[in-house]
Structure 1
């Protein structure tokens, strides 16, 4: 009898249910979408019952569509959106919609914490900066603005934790989602007494902390009826989506590093200790693998900058694609390859939505620098890709300081571009490995975590069974030399322009 692992990836736009066999093959997947509610400029919420309906629907469709015997599914595990705040009562009933990761309302609560801890002190405890993105600040906002809800709150959960409760009746979270609450002692893997005291939040409202491989319980009879799973199926809690991708991209031992290149992009590695950058340019997550950490730097708009270029500048390529049937991306890549490395001195700052790592500068803007009468259209297109890659390269430089990194795996939509892959190899001065499957790292990581937790796999090196490397691109030393100088100019230009960005932001001249 074939044995399967069911992985759920609860993202911002929907849930993907994926079925993997224990020999590492993805058998199939189904997606069920749900709505996100944006309002009051900075407020972003979701209805947790929509998460549950999506899990039930996608699970039933997957099992029925593949004609799988539910008894053959040995474990279900999770990857989920992080840094949320869902208040539930003792019966697990949501008391309000969940405030999700993108919400930025808790600015006053950030300042309240700053009265007790400096940014540096907070960063040294959590591995992250004190910002409105994290769960504890959002819970403080609920206490300060919706006191009745706060008083009735029994536990605060993230997306996957709520689904684990619905399946098992257990209130629990893993270390990675605990880390995303913003009140987590990263080195000691427990709730931080100091931050909780500074926040004034009741520690009893936080769920129990467990490793990502923890078996929270078994699927109840009621949950089995609603999902189509077999009663008694093991439920492993899994991890936050930024960490499950670590596993699914093969970052399972120190120095194993990957880059996810989508609308946003990040570089993440695996380390035995947190990386506390003196300039706080990067963050560190608790890894899904016991004893390890996941240092990371995420930039705001990577593939997003490419899409902006495609829509605003590449009108002729889009029209040619409609006329001739050739992919617009192929046409853009042909243009990019016509320009030399370094784009004839043209630089692009890819800060169209401000920037997280390594700048942490909401005021920064996208900018072309170095346009001359000889600048070509190909230079302008290539410089966008190079600018994104320089920014990622600065993040990688921070991660490389304490640990040795010899190669990098790239996943996500941007990995489909041979031109971009070569630019990355040359800027990073590393071999860039490309898996056969580029978009399943989160689901794959959740499946592997579930398999280890349920005892189906001995350890996380089983990832080699799941990942097939399709190719590898080596760096060209001559190009790398050009890019080393260009990346330094990129950095210099940003710092030269930062006072200008700040001035315009303060004056409200640029929205």
Structure 2
């Protein structure tokens, strides 16, 4: 392989977007991050404007383009929070803001309807119950509450699928995101069509489903002119951020675990075959024959930001200083109890009505008490997911942790205690964006090895 070629990985996240530029050896030579605001509907549910995702993509490309020659970029892999639900027209134009992944709990009635309609035996091929993470309940919500938009919808895209369509004018959805949204029959690895028939939904709403390492197409001339990237480079389907993190964390062998500490905390474990676990997520991996089981919290970094900004009244720059200074020497077990369900509960129990609470506050409480309680609650929340997995799957093996939360030694120590395991910590510059870049790199390495 030409050692001068580069590979780019982009990730669209809940509160920020990132890019990592990798060389042929897989080393990061440039990266960048841009923030975007959390948005909410009139009735308080999280959603995002897809145009902001595209603007993020162009900003990130411009930033790294000042450090490297974009003409050296040979291929791009994509990652994003998942599974978002973005209705688009025939031309790929968004018809409304995207409904978010599992933190968006607006379709709770539709979730109940689907779970009541399908007995556990009948929907065993998806190996889990419907939840706020599922795509079909949100489609039913859209049809009921915004019928004009639903009628105009040509297809549903995820966030990485939308960026892929902007780059190639082709429409795909990746297997991991689709299975995370309970769309895939994990026995046949085809679309699970029974609920579509029962609820009079067309399967044509979904584009072709491809694996992470499969290409979507080539970068179009118009996208080249808009981004500055080289026309004709290969764009790979990519995957959801949790799966991209799992690639970064080498979560490949059955039993190996990837913990992602971002806006929410995600725990996924590799499986040899799917297992029945109604309260968790049972999904494919990035490649054919790979499977995962896991769960996610409703808060993590999102709750940290809320506490620091709303309770402490600090700006972003002050937040970084506060969290950096709050080290293991300052940590003391808190006499406060924090229930972290500020956005409802996701796994191992899905409860949109769950609320957060501080218990035990007194005039003596200070920032360190509150931060201690916060990190303890995040660790316990992750521990509950692990405990549920142990009931239905393998004992966890190697556990590798990545994401912004790894900057806190206090949080890492508490997670290790909650899991009763030693943690391997991924270097902070390696994340879901670098995982997306590795997708492109591995594919080209395989092609190069076949040619040689």
- If the length of structure 1 is used for normalisation, what is the TM-score? 0.75
Q: Which residue of 2 aligns with 1:483?
A: none
Q: Which residue of 2 aligns with 1:423?
A: 414
Q: Displacement of 1:69 after TM fit?
A: 4.6
Q: State which of 44, 48, 51 in structure 2 corresponds to 1:49.
A: 51
Q: Which residue of 2 aligns with 1:30?
A: 32
1:396 aligns with 2:386: yes
Greater shift after overlay, 41-50 or 262-271?
41-50
1:109 aligns with 2:101: no
1:328 aligns with 2:319: no
- Aligned equivalents of 2:93 and 2:366: distance in 1? 59
- Tell me which of the two structures has the higher relative contact order, counting C-alpha pairs closer than 8 angstroms and 6 or more residues apart: 2
Give the secondary structure class of the aligned counterpart of 1:66.
coil
1:416-455 maps to which residues of 2 (within 5 A)? 416-437=407-428, 440-455=430-445
Q: Which residue of 1 aligns with 2:286?
A: 288
- Aligned equivalents of 2:114 and 2:354: distance in 1? 25
- Aligned equivalents of 2:360 and 2:200: distance in 1? 51
| Aligned length, in residue pairs | 442
Q: Displacement of 1:382 after TM fit?
A: 4.5
Asked whether the 8 Å contact 2:338–2:374 carries over to 1, the reply is yes
Q: Displacement of 1:221 after TM fit?
A: 1.7
- Aligned equivalents of 2:78 and 2:320: distance in 1? 38
Q: Displacement of 1:27 after TM fit?
A: 1.6
Asked whether the 8 Å contact 1:113–1:199 carries over to 2, the reply is no
Q: Displacement of 1:314 after TM fit?
A: 8.3
Give the secondary structure class of the aligned counterpart of 1:94.
coil
- Aligned equivalents of 1:88 and 1:326: distance in 2? 38
Deviations for 1:239-260, whole angstroms, at most 9, x for unmatched residues?
0112111111221221221222
Relative to structure 1, the CA distance from residue 250 to residue 108 in structure 2 (aligned partners, 3 Å threshold; closer, same or farther) is same
The unaligned stretches of length 5 or more in structure 2 are: none
- Aligned equivalents of 2:154 and 2:442: distance in 1? 30
Relative to structure 1, the CA distance from residue 392 to residue 224 in structure 2 (aligned partners, 3 Å threshold; closer, same or farther) is same
Asked whether the 8 Å contact 2:164–2:235 carries over to 1, the reply is yes
Relative to structure 1, the CA distance from residue 260 to residue 62 in structure 2 (aligned partners, 3 Å threshold; closer, same or farther) is same
Deviations for 1:254-280, whole angstroms, at most 9, x for unmatched residues?
122122234431221111122323xx3
Q: Which residue of 1 aligns with 2:346?
A: 356
Relative to structure 1, the CA distance from residue 107 to residue 370 in structure 2 (aligned partners, 3 Å threshold; closer, same or farther) is closer
1:215-226 maps to which residues of 2 (within 5 A)? 215-226=215-226
Relative to structure 1, the CA distance from residue 300 to residue 458 in structure 2 (aligned partners, 3 Å threshold; closer, same or farther) is farther
The unaligned stretches of length 5 or more in structure 1 are: 460-511
Q: Which residue of 1 aligns with 2:100?
A: 100
Q: Which residue of 2 aligns with 1:124?
A: 124
Higher helix share: 1
- Aligned equivalents of 1:130 and 1:286: distance in 2? 16
Deviations for 1:291-334, whole angstroms, at most 9, x for unmatched residues?
1112112122345566677679989xx9xx99xx9953365435
Asked whether the 8 Å contact 1:84–1:99 carries over to 2, the reply is yes
Asked whether the 8 Å contact 1:126–1:184 carries over to 2, the reply is yes
Asked whether the 8 Å contact 2:87–2:94 carries over to 1, the reply is yes
Structure exhibiting the larger radius of gyration computed from Cα positions = 1
Give the secondary structure class of the aligned counterpart of 2:327.
helix
Greater shift after overlay, 254-263 or 19-28?
254-263
1:71-110 maps to which residues of 2 (within 5 A)? 72-101=72-101, 102-110=103-111
- Aligned equivalents of 2:288 and 2:172: distance in 1? 17
Q: Displacement of 1:218 after TM fit?
A: 1.0
1:406 aligns with 2:404: no
- If the length of structure 2 is used for normalisation, what is the TM-score? 0.84
- Aligned equivalents of 2:96 and 2:368: distance in 1? 50
Relative to structure 1, the CA distance from residue 405 to residue 367 in structure 2 (aligned partners, 3 Å threshold; closer, same or farther) is same
